[in-house]
């Protein structure tokens, strides 16, 4: 996408990083037990954003000489948005995730866009692609390899065959231990922090970045 944007002669784009972190837009926020927990999770997500989404956007765009600007992370905007009563950011009981932001833009966007369900960045490429990657990993990584993963990868040990396969590829390209040690990780469900896994008992047996891991998803696994 960045290459295509550059080919069109565009030098700068606006990107939406931060909106889900500020307004509780991920589907797992439906499981937030109360407003205090929701607010604390948004703070955790924002504080870690530079290691994940922002790094991805910056590297992907910079590789093709395109500048990505993130208006939802503007300091003045954040100062206002993070002062909003977190109770008003709670979803459920008929309110969609990130509903405050949706209401702000519903007069500018078609309803099918403004009010469509949140999709994880990875899910947006198509469920069949994601499911196929898991199938490929299941064929290439044996049960024994996964069971003994902690011996080969003592740091940030992969907990799924898909993660194991990606880690193998990473180690081939960056074979020194310090490379893996500079990459953050930990348990997560639908992009949650490790702390938010405590919100739902079912989350404790999952480790899936897909929004389909959350029951409110229209195409949830269960």
pLDDT-derived band at 221, boundaries 50, 70, 90: low
The tens digit of pLDDT for each residue in 141-181 reads 999 999 999 999 999 999 899 999 999 999 999 999 999 99
CATH number of 1-118: 3.40.50.620
Q: Is a pLDDT exceeding 70 seen at residue 219?
A: no
Q: Are strands 12-14 and 67-69 parallel, antiparallel or unpaired?
A: parallel
The tens digit of pLDDT for each residue in 182-198 reads 988 888 887 889 899 99
Residues forming CATH 3.40.50.620 domain(s) in the chain: 1-118
pLDDT-derived band at 140, boundaries 50, 70, 90: very high
Match 């790094």 to its residue by tokens.
55
Of the candidates 32, 63, 58, the residue with the CA atom closest to the CA atom of residue 45:
32
- What CA–CA distance (Å, rounded) separates 45 from 58? 18
Per-residue pLDDT, 94: 84
Global pTM value: 0.85
Per-residue pLDDT, 211: 60
HEC assignment per residue over the chain: CHHHHHHCCCCEEECCCCHHHHHCCCHHHHHCCCHHHHHHHHHHHHHHHHHCHHHHHHHHHHCCCCEEECHHHCHHHHHHHCCCCHHHHCCECCECCCHHHHHHHCCCCCHHHHCCCCCCCCHHHCHHHHHHHHHHHHHHCCHHHHHCHHHHCCCCCCCCHHHHHHHHHHHHHCCCHHHHHCCCCCCCCCCCCCHHHHHCHHHHHCCCCCHHHCCCCCCCCC
The tens digit of pLDDT for each residue in 28-82 reads 999 999 999 999 999 999 999 999 999 999 999 999 999 999 999 999 999 999 9
Q: Is a pLDDT exceeding 80 seen at residue 116?
A: yes
Cα–chain center distance at 155: 21
Q: Is a pLDDT exceeding 80 seen at residue 124?
A: no
Sign of the dihedral through C-alpha 98, 16, 219, 207: negative
Per-residue pLDDT, 222: 64
Q: Is a pLDDT exceeding 80 seen at residue 26?
A: yes
């Amino acid at each position: 996408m960045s290459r295509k944007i550059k080919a069109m002669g565009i030098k700068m784009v606006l990107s939406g990083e931060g909106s889900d972190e500020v307004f509780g837009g991920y589907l797992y926020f439906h499981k937030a037990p109360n407003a205090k927990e929701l607010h604390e999770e948004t703070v955790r997500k924002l504080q870690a954003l530079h290691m994940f989404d922002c790094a991805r956007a910056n590297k992907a765009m910079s590789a093709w000489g395109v500048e990505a600007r993130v208006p939802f992370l503007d300091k003045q905007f954040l100062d206002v948005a993070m002062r909003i009563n977190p109770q008003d950011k709670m979803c459920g009981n008929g309110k969609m995730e990130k509903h405050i932001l949706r209401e702000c833009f519903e007069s500018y966007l078609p309803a099918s866009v403004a009010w469509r369900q949140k999709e994880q960045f990875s899910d947006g490429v198509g469920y069949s692609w994601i499911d196929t990657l898991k199938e490929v990993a299941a064929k290439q990584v044996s049960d024994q390899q996964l069971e003994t993963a902690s011996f080969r990868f003592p740091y940030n040990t992969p907990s799924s065959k898909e993660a194991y396969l990606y880690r193998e590829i990473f180690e081939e390209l960056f074979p020194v231990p310090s490379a893996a040690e500079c990459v953050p990780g930990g348990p997560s469900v639908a992009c949650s922090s490790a702390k938010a896994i405590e919100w739902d008992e079912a989350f404790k047996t999952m480790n899936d970045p897909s929004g389909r891991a959350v029951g409110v998803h229209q195409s949830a696994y269960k």
